[in-house]
A = this chain, B = another copy of it.
């Protein structure tokens, strides 16, 4: 039994709709080497693996990573099992990226806490004024 709705290929516009980006953007990521769709004639055909890469890219963008940084992250996932020296390096890179992410999470938590305060005060003030939310 095949998994439900595993398409062989996606067209470029299908993906632009799913990810809400332009064709230019997707072609740009190809130019940058982040994805490598196959071709039928000149037309690009995107496999599920390309789609998954796009998901990774979008997530990286939401987190404020540059294309170069996203390329790094992708390369971490792609790294083959490799031999000892490579493995140590890979683990090093994982640790560095994770530290970056943990810093970001700290920043996020602080900001959320501050926003919560603003909200609380606002609601308090509204209650004083006898306003229903």
Contact = CB atoms under 8 A, between A and B. Distances in A.
A131 B84 contact: yes
Interface stretch (A9-17, A42-50, A97-105): A97-105
Interface string A88-126: 101100110110011111011111101110110011011
A106 to B, nearest CB: 9
Given A98-B112, A101-B112, A122 B77 contact: no
Contacts of A110: 59
Contact of A87 (B63, B105, B114, B125): B125
A79 B114 CA distance: 13
Contacts of A131: 84, 87-88
A125 B64 CA distance: 32
A129 interface: yes
Contacts of A126: 84, 87-88, 91
A94 B73 contact: no
